[in-house]
Amino acid sequence: MIFGGAALWTSEWGQEWCEGLLDSVVQAGVNHIDTARSYGDSELMLAPWLARTTDGVRNRSRVFLATKTDKRTGPEARAELEDSLDRLGVDRVNLVQLHNLVEPDEWEQAHAPSGALEAMITARDEGLVNHIGVTGHGVRIAGMHLRSLAAFEYDSVLLPYNTTMLDNPAYRSDVDELLEVCAGRKVAVQTIKSIARRRWPDDGRADVDEQRSWYQPLRDRGAIERAMRVVLSNEQLFLNTSSDARLMSAMIESATAILEGASVQAADPAAIRADIEAFDMAPIFDGGELERI
């Protein structure tokens, strides 16, 4: 399981709260932190914790640290990476990712000479990053990741993975092909939106304070565990935690329950279908306007 750094979006929640959350996550065994320059105050909130020493060990050395750039030209991507390093207070990150690379024109720009990819390769050669990945949202992203992997030996991909999205036959087909390619090339597959219930209603009924993730998450403990089991029962997949940190305890408890045995039990399809009906679940991506989020 990967800690989703979007949970640290605003400094308004306090540095003490942030560091307490990170301490509890790492103590539970999570050692991968995924953030981005575009995640509000996340990098700034992480910096003091990364610099802190716990039991004689600097926290930075305890974790695999990843960030992202959504810039497409080389100079802009390099500048954003350097800004991230400064904000995080580190001299390198383990993984930098080209963020939400789904639009064809942006893909061409990022992969062109003097594009973002070339800049990240240079940064890797200079020791500023260890690995280069690519991320994205929406129903087109698995197909676009296949295109990215055909163009460059990326170390990781990141994409949505849950039952309601996989019910889309075209998306499922692309995901299956992507997983096969990644398995053959030993590319890490990171997943997001595992506990997504549906989009927030757009009629003003949702409490703004409740919206600590841009999608409406599951909140029932049993449903969360069953949804996470869909991901974690596949040993090829990593699972990013929700940006709503209030669900972190439930996600850690669920991961522990799922992974504690000698082998992981697969999700019960009937139970998952019952949850979809009981909680009125629906895909959060449908090829429309939210593809770019």
- Of residues 145, 137, 207, the one with CA closest to residue 175: 145
Question: What type of residue sits at position 136?
Answer: G
Q: How confident is the model at residue 201 (pLDDT cuts 50, 70, 90)?
A: confident
Residue 223 has pLDDT above 60, yes or no: yes
Mean pLDDT calculated for residue range 247-274: 92
214-218 — which CB contacts under 8 Å span 24+ positions? 214/243, 214/293, 215/284, 217/242, 217/244, 217/247, 218/275, 218/279, 218/281
CA atoms of 137 and 196, how far apart (whole Å): 13
Q: Higher-confidence residue: 212 or 51?
A: 51
Q: How confident is the model at residue 207 (pLDDT cuts 50, 70, 90)?
A: low
Q: How confident is the model at residue 211 (pLDDT cuts 50, 70, 90)?
A: low
Q: How confident is the model at residue 292 (pLDDT cuts 50, 70, 90)?
A: low
Token pair in block for residue 36? 């981005």
Residue 206 has pLDDT above 70, yes or no: no
pLDDT digits (tens, 9 = 90+) for 26-48: 999 999 999 999 999 999 999 99
- Spell out a b/e string for 133-168, using b for 16 or more CB atoms within 10 Å of the CB, else e: bbbbbbbbbbbbbbebbeebebbbbbbbbbbbbbeb
All domains of the chain in start order, with CATH: 3-287 (3.20.20.100)
3-state SS, residue 20 = helix
Q: Which residues pair with 93 in a beta bridge?
A: 129
The rounded percent of the chain whose pLDDT value lies above 70 is 95
Q: Which residues pair with 32 in a beta bridge?
A: 64
Mean pLDDT calculated for residue range 40-66: 96
**CB neighbours of residue 57 within 10 Å:** 10
pLDDT digits (tens, 9 = 90+) for 72-122: 999 999 999 999 999 999 999 999 999 999 999 999 999 999 999 999 999
Place of tokens 């949804």: 227
Residue 150 is predicted with a pLDDT of 98
Residue 264 is predicted with a pLDDT of 86
Residue 289 is predicted with a pLDDT of 57
Residue 204 is predicted with a pLDDT of 52
Angle, CA of 45, 129 and 291, to the nearest 5°: 70
Residue 209 is predicted with a pLDDT of 47
Inter-residue contact 64 to 31 (CB < 8 Å): yes
Q: How confident is the model at residue 131 (pLDDT cuts 50, 70, 90)?
A: very high
3-state SS, residue 4 = strand
pLDDT digits (tens, 9 = 90+) for 161-180: 999 999 999 999 999 999 99
Place of tokens 């301490």: 23
Contact residues for 25 (Cβ-Cβ < 8 A; gap 6+):
3, 241, 248, 252
Mean pLDDT calculated for residue range 242-255: 95
Taken as a whole, the chain contains a residue count of: 293
Residue 203 has pLDDT above 80, yes or no: no
